[in-house]
A and B are shown apart, each in its own frame.
Chain A
């Protein structure tokens, strides 16, 4: 009897480990669409963090900025630098877009790495960074696509499409293909990196709960920041590329 219950406990432990599943989602039904509820919840949390911190920072603006305002002005300067170096002279209208991308992705990634989401249990799936889900990253990448098309079309009108046959008309298929590969690579890069980070942390935690995951978590933090920067930089670069004059 004793032996049996002991073996059952072992089995239970084994089952516990084998029960670790990737890709379980907490589905919500909204108007005939199945949405991933956990992503929406964490996105709202991220949005709330961003909005409230920004609101607190600009609540009492000073000429000589104090702590919070100073920090956010520094962030804004950073984003402006990124968009200026990538887009060029007419970077100004695109700073909000690039800034939104960067801040949302950055805070999403870091929230996934720093906030103890797993304390809250969902009926299905688990809470993680919003960028851990391919839908979020695809949405961001498609927004980038729309943005650079809009930028090019408003800047050059229909002449924008002349860049498809720019060096030589033979490259037309490749240039058209590029419009599809850009959002694809953007979204997959972000999604893959963040998912991999979190998976590595989860697996390490399930194997060795203490100390060992810590370096990997730092690595994850680093990668998350880099990924956010890369996404924002690439979005700005695409916008700048579609706006620059070839003639």
Chain B
């Protein structure tokens, strides 16, 4: 009977478990169902997830490969472009050199032709000066001559008298008579 009352008394404290501990009741803690659930999850989830992750990995690898390819192609193109740049630069240098020499030659030609023109001009100038001088000299000469003639005329006009005139005429007549004798 005491057992029974003990049992009833213990009923009152059934739920008030005192402290930390492990519950070993296999039905209350439900490990069987949990393990089934976890097992199923792992069984199915593994396939799905590994597929998903493999796809993702593949995609990443593809992306990386693609970008590496692109990078390689870009580097190649860069190299090509650099080579072309070098070639073009060399050509440009050559052209520049050619141009320089041509310009130099043109310059020399030009200088020469200008020298020639200059010389011709110099000659013209000299000739002109010469002519001018001669003209001036002629003029001066003419003037002097005229003045001399005028002087002579003046002198003649002032000094000419009848006697002198007659003498001169006589002298001339005598001269012409002498000349006629000579010619005869």
Question: What string of 1s and 0s marks CB contacts (under 8 Å) between B108-133 and chain A?
Answer: 00000000000000000000000000
Q: Is the interface of A mostly helix, strand, loop or mixed?
A: helix
Interface check A63, CB cutoff 8 A = yes
| CB <8 Å contact, A122 and B20 | yes
The interface residues of chain B lying within 8 Å CB-to-CB of A247 are none
The verdict on B139 contacting chain A, using a C-beta distance below 8 Å, is no
Least CB distance, B171 to chain A, in whole angstroms: 141
Task: Find chain B residues with CB under 8 A from A118 CB.
Answer: 23, 28-30
Q: Which residues of A contact B19 (CB under 8 A)?
A: 123
Q: What sequence of 0s and 1s flags, for each residue 51-92 of chain A, a beta carbon within 8 Å of any chain B beta carbon?
A: 000000000000111010011011000000000000000000
> Which of A70, A71, A74, A221 is B37 in contact with, Cβ under 8 Å?
A221
The 0/1 profile, CB within 8 Å of B marked 1, for residues 108-152 of chain A is 000001111011111110000000000000000000000000000
**Are A21 and B15 in contact, CB atoms less than 8 angstroms apart?**
yes
Question: Cβ of A16 and Cβ of B22 under 8 Å apart?
Answer: no
Contact A116–B29 (Cβ < 8 Å): yes
A205 to B17, CA, bound (A): 20
Interface stretch (choices B54-62, B95-103, B141-149, B155-163):
B54-62
**Cβ contact of A11, chosen from B11, B17, B52, cutoff 8 A:** B11
CB neighbours (8 Å) of B14 from chain A are 12, 15-16, 19
Question: Which residues of B28-46 have CB atoms within 8 Å of chain A's CB atoms?
Answer: 28-34, 36-38, 40-41
Task: Pick the contact of A8: B4, B18, B21 (CB < 8 A).
Answer: B4
- Contacting pair B18 A70 (CB below 8 A): no
- Cβ of B176 < 8 Å from any Cβ of A? no
**Does A15 lie within 8 Å of B22, measured CB to CB?**
no
Task: Count contacts on B: residues with CB < 8 A to the other chain.
Answer: 36
Q: Is B81 an interface residue (CB 8 A)?
A: no
Give the docked Cα–Cα distance between A21 and B17 (Å). 13
Could you mark each residue 189-211 of chain A with 1 if its beta carbon is under 8 Å from any beta carbon of chain B, else 0?
00000000000010001100111
Given A119-B29, A120-B22, A217-B33, answer yes or no on A12-B11 (Cβ-Cβ < 8 Å): yes
Given contacts A8-B8, A12-B14, A121-B22, contact A65 B34 (CB under 8 A): no
Q: A64-B57, A64-B60 are in contact. Are A5 and B3 (CB under 8 A)?
A: yes
**B74 interface contact, C-beta 8 A:** no
| B residues in contact with A121, CB < 8 Å | 17, 20-23
A8-B4, A122-B20 are known contacts. Are A63 and B64 too (CB-CB below 8 A)? yes
CA distance A63 to B57 in the complex (A): 10
| Cα–Cα distance between A186 and B15 once the two chains are bound (Å) | 34
Decide yes or no: A114 and B15 within 8 Å by CB, A5-B4, A74-B56 being known contacts.
Answer: no
Question: Counting CB contacts under 8 A, is A218 at the interface?
Answer: yes
In the assembled complex, B173 has its CB within 8 A of some CB on chain A: no
Question: Within the complex, what minimum Cβ distance (angstroms) separates A2 from chain B?
Answer: 11
Please, which residue of chain B has its CB at the minimum distance from the CB of A113? B37
Tell me if B140 is interfacial: C-beta within 8 Å of chain A: no
Contact of A123 among B3, B8, B18, B22 (CB under 8 A): B18
Apart from A70-B57, A121-B20, A217-B34, what are 13 other A-B pairs with CB-CB below 8 Å? A8-B4, A64-B61, A71-B53, A116-B29, A116-B34, A118-B30, A120-B20, A120-B23, A121-B23, A122-B17, A123-B20, A124-B16, A214-B37
